[in-house]
Structures are given as structure tokens and as C-alpha cells.
Structure 1
């Protein structure tokens, strides 16, 4: 969510429409270190367009050297019973929501190409998988992961938390996260249900 730019400028729809373009890479950074790693990955990529989502507010904190191999998700936190998969900077809210919990957290990093092997391992290991993304449902991470789960026939509960199918009014990013139920407190309630 872009905050004060207005209801048509939040970037809520770009993962969905970018996901339909053949040969494109669609990635989102969890934090500044991830953004730097994705920029390096994109600079060396010659297979087509490479789209990177990052938050407008730029509150990335300390940068640490990391690698994000193309098409591979990343484990953020070990856990059991439930796994939360986030896409992009909303993962920082997920980290806050999971403080003190025994749930696992994974950063999807790449919506396209999707890490099918990594996702299948998660879908087969956990009783419940929760997908959290800061964009519309259509064409996003949740839809892609649910489609994969249907193809392989896994037996786990899957819940998705994303933006509603509506234009979101303007306000500060934190206000908009609260209005849409994507702030840490609301996410904790959603994940614990």
C-alpha cells in the first residue's frame, strides 16, 4: 500500500497483471537486504523482464548481504503445525504477528517463477498454510499457491489474507494496513483462528 497517493495508486493490482506476462520474473522484497539482493539478481538476469515490488516508505533498516536465488522461497522462521507464507514487505507485519508463536514463516520472494518444489514441501509438511500478501487476490500468491495445491491434491487447510476486491482509500500506510486487516494485530487474530 502506497499511503497518501490515493485509491488508484497503491500498486494493489500489479502482481496479478504482471503474473500473466510470459517470461517475466515477478519478485517482492521483504526488506532492504532483500531489495539489494533482488537488484543484483535482476542485473545479472537476461531471460526477460524482471519486476521487483518494494514499499514506498523505504523503511528498510540495516542492510545485510544476502542471496535470493531465482525462483526460490526463503525460510524466515522455523515452526510447526501452521506455516505462514508472505509475499513482499507485508512479511515484516507477519514477523510481528508471529512473535512468541510456534508457527513457521516463509518469504515467497518470487511470485513468478513460483518455487513449486519448495511450496509442495510446505504444503505436505504443515496442517495449515496461511498466505499473506499486500495486493489483490486475483493473480496473486494465494491464487497461485491454491492452484498448485489443487493440482497436487494436498490435504491441508489453506487460508489467504490479501487486499479486498475494491479500491482502497488514501491514508498513511499503517492506517491502510489496519483498515484492510493487514496490520500485525489483525494478522495475529487471522493466523490464530
Structure 2
């Protein structure tokens, strides 16, 4: 008598178990792969979002800084305009007594028989037009002007004889400032202002 053992169903069952286990390992590996990929993608997405947020912050701060720089430029322009106005006011304040001195010296230097018909001023140059009875009086008038401390040397540009026997003359003379006006830049530096 022979005994026959059928090993096929046992092998078949083992093969099925191995196949199921293999499928489970593959599914588990796929799930682990998908999970890892999703985790890595989430990590990098989070880092990208953080970097974009930092970039937006830097852009916002840069725009604010640009606005501050523009405001500073406006302040500097306004400061320069104000310094110019202050300098002009100081020059006007300085020239006020100078103008009085000029008129005082003009009247003190006026010679007998001479009078002015027109007086104009361009910067520190006075243009005088006047009449005199003789050429000698015009010369005396020029010497008297040159002797005054607020005037330079006068220059005679024309002398004409008029119908009435008087001499019409044109001359120019430069004003000499006895003291220079104060400089606004030094005053601002003394007070600690920055350029």
C-alpha cells in the first residue's frame, strides 16, 4: 500500500499567504512613499511660504524706507530753501544800515552847485546822473565821493553841456561794505545742524 500526500494545496496556501504579504508590503511601502513625499512637499511648501512671507516683509520695509528717504529729501530741500531765505533776510538786515550810510555819505559828499537827478543801484554799483554848473564841480564831486569810506573810486562815463549852461554828468561808483554780512552756513553748523 502506498500513501499519497497531496502537497499542492499546502503549497498553494503558502503561496497565497506570501502573495498577500507581498501585496501588503507593497501597499505599505507605497503608503510610506506617498506619506514621505507628502511630508517632504509640506515641509518645503512651509519653508517656501515662510520665505515668501519674509520677502513680503522686506518689500514692505523697503517701500517704507523709500518713502522715508523721499520725505528726507523733501526736508533737505525745504531746509535749503529756508537757509536761502534766512541768508537773504540777513543780507537785507545788513544792507538796511548800509543803505542809510550810503545816502548819508551821498548827501555829505554833495558839493555846492551839484545835484543829482537820477540814482539807480545794481548790486553794489550806484549809477548817478546829475547836473553841475562847471566841469570843475564834477571833478570836485568825484573826489568827494572817492574820499567817503563807503564808496570806491568813481568812474565818469559822460559829461555833456546843456542848453541852460549846466553840465549833465553820468558816473558810477561801487559801494564798499564796511563789514561782511554774517554767513548762515556757519551759524547752522554752530547749532549742530548737519548738511
- The structure with the greater share of residues assigned to strand is 1
With the shorter chain as reference, the TM-score category is under 0.3
TM, length-normalised to structure 1: 0.21
Structure with higher Rg: it is 2
TM-score, normalised to structure 2, is: 0.21
More helix by share: 2
